């Protein structure tokens, strides 16, 4: 029995169509007559749980790599910020009429919580100086009183002291902070430790400028006794500065500003993706295909260049792969033979055989006899795939080495970017390499290397040796590079170019999607689910109005029969009547059709309520009391006048919701008519 086929699946390069001699067998098994969804590969026993564990391990490995890269990128800038905060009061400028408040601005074109978290962590673990940090947010500082109260209480709430029973200062009085700091400073001085108070103003552009002016003025009056250091986060452009364009000169005169720009933009995006998925020093469990990488890069550049957005895209790509590809349960290791021999895994096992192109024995008991062989095939395919991936990375590294070598010596090098191409050049080269579309680049590389002079060829050979030293010892192809390219450099550059391009071409000839079972470890040309990141608002709203239960029912639960119109919310009912109308809608007729549906709803709910009451009374009440309560229930429910008023109110509310969503347009010609704005809705 064969798994259903989906000829539109981009992950499948070959389709195996088995021959069925008859639709039914002699035993009349009901299982053979079941209809299966086209293109769906049956899961193995416990497959969802296995794939979830595999996803978590693969994504944790990828996320850890990204975090390590970010820490390495941010580390020099974090050290500068911490050093600036620690030495803010050590180098006082003489001759100033009044002390200045140290202000450190952190500017980034997008939100950078990872950088801020790294700064906070480094401040807390700094040995030279003791930092106490207070975080202020715009909602907490709507006026100067609430801002000062947040500032003072954030520092003093963890002091461990208690307020006396006599006269005390207000919670927003800065003298409370002064007294707290002096007591804490005296205890720290005994140990020779310095003390700094860090105030972090998050989302600085959202603070009310007048509140910040008063806050800075009050703090400047006590700066000689309370060493405050303000760190503000800015997302606006560095030039012109938001501080200088918003605050007056009288406020700026109180500040000593030092600006730091957080690394961000396309360069960070390219470095993270290259060092995660292309670097020869790291092997991700899941290899993203060109379609996924291109979609992630395009979405990040066009909409949001923050690192958080990139991480969300990569996590979504992992989730999509492990939730839709049943074979991905075998990504790390092959499941045991007992699991595959279980009857619940037979469909999965058959799909595995088809995708691995394995030859079946003619014995009818092939499912049990060939399981060890299939496990061996999967293990061999895993080694072969990752070896090819490493070969592609080495080939890319050599092409990048040639390009950087040429640029360092003033040559133009390869034409990696074209006009109106937003994708970074090295990522574009890698994507084209995965698609097998770099014939032009290979010919150009061969021409560039063949024109190198003898001195330049020796210099390139030295850099090639450094490149080989970075390769892991077990890397396939490392010895070939050392023996053919590094050991004996030929005197003629054209001969060296021929060797170099021959090695690169040999690595790229082994395409990733030509290996057995590549669907397990490689996303291929499977499209990225961009509709989840940037969904169509119009389509989502219409789908929600037409099928509201699809958004409120769990996907794992069994679907109930199609809901009737009277079971839907009021706005959905009114929208359904909206679709049955013409270009111009008479509001009264619209109300009458809505009223008719609500009457049906009222009758159905009343009938349901009576059945429930009758069932309860049969269990508890006596026949005499049952008749008495039945007469009392006849008068239950809303009076007719109240019901009509409720229907009108529900209609007006649903009408206003559709008006707010932009589905109707008012006309001045007829006061009792509205214009329909949405047509050609696919139900």
CA 478 from chain center: how many Å? 36
182: left (phi over 0), alpha (psi -120 to 50) or beta: alpha
β-sheet bridge partners, residue 234: 107
Of residues 493, 427, 422, the one with CA closest to residue 460 = 493
Residue 658 contacts residue 581 (beta carbons within 8 Å): no
Residue identified by tokens 């450099």 is 489
Q: Which DSSP helix (H) or strand (E) runs through 598?
A: helix 587-620
**Phi and psi for 23 in degrees, rounded to 5?**
-75, -25
3-state secondary structure at position 227: coil
pLDDT, residue 681, reads 73
From residue 191, give the alpha-carbon distance in Å to each of 128, 131, 227, 228, 525. 12, 15, 19, 21, 63
Give the separation between CA 48 and CA 25, rounded to whole angstroms.
31
> Can you list the residues of the chain whose pLDDT is less than 50?
1-3, 16, 19-39, 166, 359-368
- Each residue's pLDDT tens digit, 13-31: 555 455 444 444 444 433 3
Q: Where are the beta strands (DSSP E) in 323-368?
A: none
Distance, first Cα to last Cα, the chain: 36
Give the separation between CA 522 and CA 321, rounded to whole angstroms.
9
Residue identified by tokens 């006849």 is 634
3-state secondary structure at position 201: strand
What tokens appear for 196 in the block? Answer: 């700094």
What tokens appear for 502 in the block? Answer: 């021959």
DSSP assignment of 394-455, as one string?
HHHHHHHHHHHHHHHTT--------TT--S-HHHHHHHHHHTT--HHHHHHHHHHHHT--HH
Give the separation between CA 404 and CA 277, rounded to whole angstroms.
20
Q: For residue 240, say if its preceding peptide bond is cis, omega within 30 degrees of 0.
A: yes
Residue 678 contacts residue 542 (beta carbons within 8 Å): yes
Give the separation between CA 361 and CA 457, rounded to whole angstroms.
57
Residue identified by tokens 């133009």 is 412
For the chain, residues classed under CATH 3.40.50.300 are 87-158+170-262
Residue 601 contacts residue 570 (beta carbons within 8 Å): no
Q: Which DSSP helix (H) or strand (E) runs through 671?
A: none
Q: Which DSSP helix (H) or strand (E) runs through 215?
A: helix 209-221
Residue 316 contacts residue 532 (beta carbons within 8 Å): yes
**Superfamily covering domain 87-158+170-262:** P-loop containing nucleotide triphosphate hydrolases (3.40.50.300)
Q: Which DSSP helix (H) or strand (E) runs through 251?
A: helix 249-252
Give the separation between CA 4 and CA 39, rounded to whole angstroms.
5
Neighbouring C-beta atoms of residue 514, cutoff 10 Å: 12
3-state secondary structure at position 170: coil
Per-residue b or e along 143-158, where b marks 16 or more CB atoms closer than 10 Å to that residue's CB:
ebeebbbbbbebbbee
DSSP assignment of 101-157, as one string?
EEEEEEE-SS--HHHHHHHHHHHHT-SSEEEEEEEE-GGG-SSHHHHHHHHHHHHHT
Between β-strands 664-666 and 673-676, what pairing exists: parallel, antiparallel or unpaired? antiparallel
β-sheet bridge partners, residue 676: 664
Residue 261 contacts residue 80 (beta carbons within 8 Å): no
Could you give the angle at the alpha carbon of 494 between the alpha carbons of 489 and 497, nearest 5°? 70
Half-sphere CA count of 136, side-chain side, radius 13 A: 29
Residue identified by tokens 């005390």 is 168
3-state secondary structure at position 509: coil
Give the separation between CA 398 and CA 16, rounded to whole angstroms.
38
pLDDT, residue 184, reads 83
DSSP assignment of 46-90, as one string?
THHHHHHHHHHHHHHHHHHHHHHHHHHHHHHHHHHHHHHHHTTTT
Residue 335 contacts residue 54 (beta carbons within 8 Å): no
Residue 351 contacts residue 513 (beta carbons within 8 Å): no
Give the separation between CA 582 and CA 586, rounded to whole angstroms.
9
Per-state percent for the chain, helix, strand, coil, to nearest 5:
55, 5, 35
Give the separation between CA 663 and CA 536, rounded to whole angstroms.
16
What tokens appear for 547 in the block? Answer: 């099928």
Residue 445 contacts residue 397 (beta carbons within 8 Å): no
């Amino acid at each position: 029995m064969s798994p259903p086929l989906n000829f539109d699946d981009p992950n499948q390069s070959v389709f195996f169509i088995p021959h069925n001699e008859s639709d039914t067998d002699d035993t009349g098994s009901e299982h053979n007559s079941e209809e299966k969804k086209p293109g769906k590969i049956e899961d193995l026993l416990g497959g969802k749980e296995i794939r979830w564990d595999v996803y978590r391990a693969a994504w944790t490995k990828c996320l850890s790599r990204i975090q390590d890269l970010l820490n390495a990128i941010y580390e020099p800038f974090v050290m500068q910020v911490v050093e600036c905060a620690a030495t803010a009061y050590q180098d006082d400028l003489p001759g100033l009429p009044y002390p200045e408040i140290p202000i450190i601005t952190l500017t980034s074109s997008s939100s950078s919580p990872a950088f801020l978290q790294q700064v906070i962590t480094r401040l807390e673990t700094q040995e030279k100086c003791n930092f106490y940090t207070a975080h202020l947010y715009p909602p907490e500082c709507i006026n100067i009183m609430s801002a000062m109260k947040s500032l003072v209480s954030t520092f003093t709430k963890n002091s461990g002291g208690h307020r006396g029973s006599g006269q005390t200062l207000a919670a927003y009085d800065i003298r409370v902070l002064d007294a707290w700091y002096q007591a804490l400073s005296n205890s720290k001085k005994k140990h020779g430790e310095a003390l700094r108070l860090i105030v972090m103003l998050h989302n600085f552009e959202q603070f009310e400028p007048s509140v910040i002016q008063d806050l800075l003025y009050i703090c400047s009056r006590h700066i000689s006794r309370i060493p405050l250091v303000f760190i503000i986060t800015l997302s606006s452009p560095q030039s012109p500065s938001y501080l200088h364009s918003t605050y007056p000169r009288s406020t700026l005169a109180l500040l000593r500003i030092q600006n730091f720009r957080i690394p961000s933009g396309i360069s960070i995006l390219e470095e993270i993706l290259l060092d995660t998925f292309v670097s020869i020093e790291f092997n991700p469990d899941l290899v993203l295909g060109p379609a996924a990488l291109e979609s992630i890069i395009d979405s990040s550049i066009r909409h949001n260049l923050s690192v958080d957005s990139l991480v969300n895209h990569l996590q979504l790509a992992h989730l999509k792969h492990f939730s839709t590809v049943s074979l991905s349960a075998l990504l790390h290791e092959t499941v045991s033979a007992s699991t595959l021999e279980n009857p619940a895994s037979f469909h999965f096992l058959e799909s595995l055989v088809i995708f691995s192109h394995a030859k079946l024995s003619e014995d009818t008991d092939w499912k049990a006899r060939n399981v060890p062989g299939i496990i061996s095939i999967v293990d061999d395919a895993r080694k072969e795939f990752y070896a090819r991936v490493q070969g592609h990375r080495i080939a890319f590294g050599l092409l990048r080495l040639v390009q950087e070598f040429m640029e360092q010596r003033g040559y133009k090098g390869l034409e990696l970017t074209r006009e109106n191409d937003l994708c970074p050049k090295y990522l574009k080269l890698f994507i084209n390499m995965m698609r097998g579309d770099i014939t032009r680049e290979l010919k150009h590389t061969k021409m560039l290397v063949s024109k190198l002079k003898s001195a330049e060829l020796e210099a390139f050979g030295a850099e090639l040796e450094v490149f080989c030293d970075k390769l892991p010892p077990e890397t396939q192809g490392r010895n070939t590079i050392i023996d053919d390219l590094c050991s004996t450099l030929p005197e003629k550059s054209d001969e060296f170019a021929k060797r170099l391009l021959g090695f690169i071409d040999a690595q790229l000839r082994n395409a990733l999607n030509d290996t057995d079972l590549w669907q397990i470890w490689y996303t291929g040309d499977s499209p990225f689910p961009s509709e989840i990141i940037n969904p169509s608002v119009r389509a989502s709203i219409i789908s929600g109005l037409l099928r509201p239960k699809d958004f409120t029912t769990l996907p794992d639960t069994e679907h109930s029969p199609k809901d009737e119109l009277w079971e839907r919310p009021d706005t959905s009912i009114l929208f359904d009547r909206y679709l049955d109308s013409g270009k111009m809608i008479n509001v009264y007729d619209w109300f009458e059709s809505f009223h008719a549906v609500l009457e049906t709803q009222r009758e159905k709910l009343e009938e349901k309520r009576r059945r429930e009451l009758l069932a309860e009374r049969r269990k508890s009440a006596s026949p005499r009391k049952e008749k008495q309560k039945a007469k009392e229930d006849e008068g239950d429910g809303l009076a007719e006048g109240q019901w009509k008023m409720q229907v009108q109110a529900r209609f007006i509310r649903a009408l206003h919701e559709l008006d707010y969503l932009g589905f109707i347009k008012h006309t001045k010609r007829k006061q009792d008519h509205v214009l329909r704005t949405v047509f050609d809705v696919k139900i």
